[in-house]
Structure 1
Amino acid sequence: MPDTKTRARARGRLGSRRVSGQARYIIRRVYYAVFVVWAAYTITWLLLFLMPSNAAEVMLRNVSGGDSAADRAAVAALEHRYGLDRPPHEQYLTLLFRAVKGDFGISTATGRPVIEVIGQALPGTIQLGLAGLVLGTFLGLGIALAANAVRAPFLRNLLFSLPPLFSSLPAFFVGLLLVQFFAFGLKLLPAAGAGTAAHLVLPAITIAIPVSAGIAQVTAKSLVANLRSPYADYLRAKGVPHRRILLTHAFRNAIIPATTLLGMSIGGILAGAVVVETVFSRQGLGRLMQTSVTLQDIPVVQGVVVFSAVLYAAANLLVDLVYPKIDPRISIG
């Protein structure tokens, strides 16, 4: 029989291996997040660099209102000032080092620092995104649980058909439908603007519907698979009620793929913010992106894309770090 010291050393080695595995897991996920942000910045820079328009000419047109042709001497002066006359690799590395420090340059439309412009628009998008994400998560999980809890075939099929229906509805159509019904018809909620909780309800629902569709569909199918598994049959044989098996055992296993989809939904929310903020006349990153593209404000466009990539990577990194808490086996793998 091994003595106490031998068992203690074995437990210590096992604990150190577990900690080492968790550390490697976290380092890999952080590396992937950094890579995603760098790739988003590089691809955006390449696309903007390959555009046929001249950035210096765009700056002068924005300043003059687009009424006069850009002077070649003024264009050359701006190109030298912002380093646009340097070789492409020097431009890329210079802008990359500045971006790492949080400096994305000056907006060509407003003359203000890009980080300041983004910071002014960011709170509205965060408020809208969080509200839509929370509402969509509860709605999606509620549909999935209800679809697996009810016994009536008609109601069960109806609940299972809601996720495909929600995912097929365009955001602008949902937004306009909600405005027409709740704002113009029932006059219960404001149709546009921001500032109060009532102004947030309709935009949040518009964001939440497509988010809930994916979560409900994945969770419902996972619940069905878990309820048909051998451990569920064993629990039924022991007399455990169906509702307890669903909520206590099957739901915990089914939440893992839903968590993955939850992290990926951040990208859809940021993309949908362009439409939702336009429909409801809200200020945010989506509205800022639309205006910047219209004005060809290249520094702001690049800043918004990179900042959106940072939010997306941070959300997925958070999901990856939560995984070992849900399923401890992932930390070892």
Structure 2
Amino acid sequence: MRLVPGDPARIIAGGVQANATPQVLDAIRDQYGLRRPVAVQYVLFLGRLLRADLGGSYQLGRPVSSVIGEQLGPTLALAAGAALLGFCLAVALALLTAGRPRARAVSRVLEFCSISTPNFWIGVLLLAVFSFRLRWFPVLGDDGPAALVLPCAALALPIAGVLAQVTREGLERALDQPFALTARSRGATEHRIRARHALRHAALPVLTLSGWVLGELLAGTVVVETVFARQGLGHVVVAAVRGRDFPVVTGVVVLSALTFSLINIGLDLLYGLVDPRIREAAA
């Protein structure tokens, strides 16, 4: 951000069109500490961060925490919906295709297409089919649950493709284990073996990938919210980068890093619940 051409003081003063005088620009630089070296500004930022102070937005003239808080809800709804849809699609595909060569071959083609297609292109295709042609869902905006369906699908499909591959491989390994043979000998149906026994054994690699899923969601929301003209942190980040609003960009990065760390800690705690061997090793 610091290497991008432009003067933060002029941005704070209202941009080039404001025609701020040199005296006004100097006063702004003194007020915001822009004359100090970048290293000093960074140390001061860390000090404010310890007090949970993210500073103020250059463009909006408001606390960064307030700006982020207002847009956090729509982004959380989008990310949660996409994560839920992605996991559900992945599990369904894995259960239906594991150990079935023909179904697995078809599923792999679909998974490859979803993984290799960018989020924005998936969003455009979904809009063209389900909004413009079929008119099942609204084109733009975030008015009501129906407006969440296509953005969630655009985010979820690439995630589902990767998770389906990992889950299916875990299921196929689990179905070859002795416990699966024992369950079959006791008369358990194939569906029961897959859903109740094998799926739990395949869950650990999926949990490991959940951190990657979070990263994909954080990156994808910026693009998807732009394509579907939705409010959210992605919209805030794009506007802040364009306007060189350093405090807002930094605040979103800090929030993303904190969320990523907390979720990974939670995943480490979940490993023991999913795999009894981890609990036994820790005991």
Give the TM-score normalised by structure 2: 0.90
Kindly provide the CA deviation profile for residues 170-217 of structure 1, in whole angstroms up to 9, marking residues without a partner as x: 111111111111111111110111121111111111111112112111
Looking at structure 1, the residues matched to 177 and 108 of structure 2 have their Cα atoms a distance apart, in angstroms, of 20
Asked if the contact 2:10–2:16 (Cα under 8 Å) also holds between the matched residues in 1, the reply is no
- Pairs aligned (count): 281
Query: 2:93 corresponds to which residue?
Result: 143
Query: 2:155 corresponds to which residue?
Result: 207
Residue 89 to residue 177, structure 1, CA distance change in 2 (3 Å): closer
Asked whether 1:276 is paired with 2:224, we answer yes
Looking at structure 1, the residues matched to 278 and 240 of structure 2 have their Cα atoms a distance apart, in angstroms, of 42
**SS at 2:17 equivalent:** coil
Amino acid at match of 2:139: A
**SS at 2:138 equivalent:** coil
Give 1:100's match in structure 2, choosing from 47, 50, 56: 50
Query: 1:298 corresponds to which residue?
Result: 246
In structure 2, stretches of 5+ residues that fail to align are none
Looking at structure 1, the residues matched to 133 and 179 of structure 2 have their Cα atoms a distance apart, in angstroms, of 51
Asked whether 1:124 is paired with 2:74, we answer yes
Amino acid at match of 1:103: D
Asked whether 1:171 is paired with 2:119, we answer yes
Looking at structure 1, the residues matched to 277 and 71 of structure 2 have their Cα atoms a distance apart, in angstroms, of 41
Kindly provide the CA deviation profile for residues 231-287 of structure 1, in whole angstroms up to 9, marking residues without a partner as x: 434544565443333222211110111112123211111110111101111000111
Give 1:196's match in structure 2, choosing from 126, 139, 144: 144
Asked if the contact 1:226–1:232 (Cα under 8 Å) also holds between the matched residues in 2, the reply is yes
Asked whether 1:56 is paired with 2:2, we answer no
Looking at structure 1, the residues matched to 29 and 22 of structure 2 have their Cα atoms a distance apart, in angstroms, of 10
Amino acid at match of 1:253: H
Q: Which moved more, 1:114-123 or 1:48-57?
A: 48-57
Deviation of residue 85 (structure 1)?
2.8
Deviation of residue 290 (structure 1)?
0.7
In structure 1, stretches of 5+ residues that fail to align are 1-47
Deviation of residue 327 (structure 1)?
1.6
Amino acid at match of 1:58: I
**SS at 2:202 equivalent:** helix
RMSD over aligned CA atoms reads 2.1
Looking at structure 2, the residues matched to 121 and 251 of structure 1 have their Cα atoms a distance apart, in angstroms, of 36
Query: 2:36 corresponds to which residue?
Result: 86
Amino acid at match of 1:179: L
Amino acid at match of 1:96: L
1:1-333 aligned within 5 A: 48-49=1-2, 53-60=6-13, 63=14, 65-67=15-17, 71-148=21-98, 151=100, 153-236=101-184, 240-331=188-279, 332=281
Asked if the contact 1:292–1:300 (Cα under 8 Å) also holds between the matched residues in 2, the reply is yes
Residue 109 to residue 162, structure 1, CA distance change in 2 (3 Å): same
Residue 300 to residue 321, structure 1, CA distance change in 2 (3 Å): same
Larger gyration radius, structure 1 or structure 2: 1
Looking at structure 1, the residues matched to 29 and 278 of structure 2 have their Cα atoms a distance apart, in angstroms, of 51
Amino acid at match of 1:263: G
Looking at structure 2, the residues matched to 329 and 76 of structure 1 have their Cα atoms a distance apart, in angstroms, of 64
Percentage of identical aligned residues: 39
Looking at structure 2, the residues matched to 328 and 70 of structure 1 have their Cα atoms a distance apart, in angstroms, of 66
Q: Which moved more, 1:178-187 or 1:245-254?
A: 245-254
**SS at 1:67 equivalent:** helix
Asked if the contact 1:146–1:159 (Cα under 8 Å) also holds between the matched residues in 2, the reply is no
**SS at 1:301 equivalent:** helix
Residue 180 to residue 50, structure 1, CA distance change in 2 (3 Å): closer
Asked if the contact 1:147–1:160 (Cα under 8 Å) also holds between the matched residues in 2, the reply is no
Amino acid at match of 1:99: L
Residue 52 to residue 182, structure 1, CA distance change in 2 (3 Å): closer
Give the TM-score normalised by structure 1: 0.78
